[in-house]
Amino acid sequence: MSDLWLAERPRINAELSELGLHPGLALALRFLEPGEARPMSALAGQLQCDASTVTGIADRLEAAGIVERRPAEHDRRVKTLVLTPHGEQVRRRVGEIWSSPPPGVAALPTEDLDALKRIVDRALGRAA
């Protein structure tokens, strides 16, 4: 699995770069849902990083017009991130990039792809 990931990393990073995104910024977008305000502290927990790291991520995403920083409705001291319409488009494109299979995987016969999906689902603890 690591060989597959390492082989795809240059393609994925190049496509993210075309969007003006560092892989860490793209990862942060994974945890932001359209129409949903996410507290920056919750994003730090999901990314397993320090809150100051999320401040830098938020600064770059906000400068790119991908998110807006807003005070939380329940507590104005809590800052949240909300995807902009442009951010929703960028997030969608990042999902397409990440879900695009490597050519070798895409070329597998349907029965092999089905078997691979079942194996990965089991490995991730998902019901098949």
For 77-114, give one letter per residue: b (16+ CB within 10 A) or e: eebbbbbbeebbebbebbeebeeeeeeeeeeeeeeeee
Question: Where residue 127 falls among pLDDT bands split at 50, 70, 90?
Answer: confident
Joined together, the tokens standing for residue 114 give: 């089905």
Distance of CA 52 to the CA centre of its chain: 19
Distance between CA atoms of residues 103 and 94, nearest Å: 18
Encode pLDDT of 10-27 as tens digits.
999 999 999 999 999 999
Fold classified for 2-101: Arc Repressor Mutant, subunit A (1.10.10)
pTM of structure: 0.86
